[in-house]
Amino acid sequence: MTAWPPCSDAARHRGDALVATAPPVRRWLLLEQPKGWPEKILTSPDLVGVRARIQEIVAARAGRLLFVRRPGRPQPGGLRRWFVIDPLTRTESRGVWEPGAGLDEALSAFAAEGPQPDPVAVRLLVCTHGRHDRCCAVRGRPVAAAVSDRFPQETWECSHMGGDRFAGNLVVLPSGTYYGGLDPESALDVVLAHRRHAVAATHLRGVTTIPPVGQAALWCVLDHFGPGPLGSMSARIHPGGGPQVWRVDVTGHPRAAGVEVEVRRGILPPARRSCRAAEDQIAVTYAAVVTGTSAR
């Protein structure tokens, strides 16, 4: 049997770009689950009887389910918390659940349209799902420990969030901002910069409520002009000079009133893109370049 290198090592060696790799998510369901997670969390015995309902809501609401737990040694037993987060309105619902029961309220909130009833809290989720991909555990757990030391109330370990080869991965909620390629030191820098509204392009993967073309354009502007308030920036997408080319108008960066960006979609050659991959796979990529600016 071939001894493949860890997927995150291989991705770094190939230079796989982080740009525009945040998956689309418009509703989050976080279930506190302190004990071990199966490779695919929907196979968990604790979700017997509700799997089909969860899959239905995920499809209808562009939702994502994650198991979460506090970093460090698991503390099983007792009531577990759940959170439903709506990133567009920055609102949430919360409650408690028990394995095999008690998810009716959570699933109703997950399926509901519009805002949730409560003000949202900031949460820092770090993927540590080793049974899904060993890189998530090897690279993610030190990141989770470092971030938790600084921000203990906001930090959670979480199950697979996508993009194993970019481990360590971190998502900031409620905005749904994805960061990758992190180690403990860079993770702290990223979180502090995010809190200062000075997001840099270096570790940015994208924002889940923005389509990939827009993610690529925003990344390009941050890369070109330097860190900026990503949450205040916007991207208007227009057809470009071909079926895989777009013109994007970006506003909101403090160093330019408006920026025009050209984004091109491409395909990366086949490669082994996760530790558990049975075969090589292609991947979509986006290249972006600034084509015009107007000064502030």
* Distance, CA of 187 to CA of 9 (rounded, Å): 18
Looking at residue 89, the DSSP 8-state letter turns out to be: T
What are the pLDDT digits (tens) for 237-290?
A: 999 888 999 999 999 999 998 999 999 999 999 999 999 998 999 999 999 999
Which structure tokens are listed for 40? 């695919």
Which structure tokens are listed for 215? 């993610």
The pLDDT of residue 147 is 98
Distances (CA, A) of 208 to 63, 133, 155, 236: 10, 22, 19, 16
Across the chain, mean pLDDT equals 94
Distances (CA, A) of 66 to 18, 82, 176: 21, 10, 13
Does domain 1-210 fall under CATH 1.10.3720.10? My reply is no
For residue 246, how many other CB atoms are within 10 A of its CB?
Answer: 24
Report CA torsion sign: 274, 122, 152, 41.
negative
What are the pLDDT digits (tens) for 149-171?
A: 999 999 999 999 999 999 999 99
| pLDDT higher than threshold 50 for residue 211 | yes
What are the pLDDT digits (tens) for 86-136?
A: 999 999 999 999 876 679 999 999 999 989 999 999 999 999 999 999 999
State the pTM of this model. Answer: 0.95
To 10 degrees, what angle do helices 134-150 and 7-14 make?
90
Phi-psi category of 145—alpha, beta or left, where left has phi over 0 and alpha has psi -120 to 50?
alpha
| pLDDT higher than threshold 80 for residue 75 | no
What are the pLDDT digits (tens) for 180-190?
A: 999 999 999 99
Q: How confident is the model at residue 77 (pLDDT cuts 50, 70, 90)?
A: low
Which structure tokens are listed for 100? 């095999």
* Distance, CA of 242 to CA of 256 (rounded, Å): 27
**Strand pairing partners for 46?**
none
Buried residues in 191-200 as b, exposed as e (16+ CB within 10 A) = bebbeeeebb
Report CA torsion sign: 276, 212, 87, 194.
positive
In the chain, what are the domain boundaries?
1-210
Q: Is the distance from CB of 170 to CB of 125 less than 8 angstroms? A: yes
Q: What is the mean pLDDT of residues 2-16?
A: 89
| pLDDT higher than threshold 80 for residue 78 | no
* Distance, CA of 137 to CA of 114 (rounded, Å): 35
Which residues, in sequence order, are CB contacts of 142 under 8 Å at separation 6+? 168, 183, 184
Q: Is the distance from CB of 171 to CB of 125 less than 8 angstroms? A: yes
Q: Which amino acid is located at 107 in the chain?
A: L
The pLDDT of residue 34 is 92
The pLDDT of residue 295 is 62
| pLDDT higher than threshold 50 for residue 221 | yes
Which structure tokens are listed for 224? 């070109």
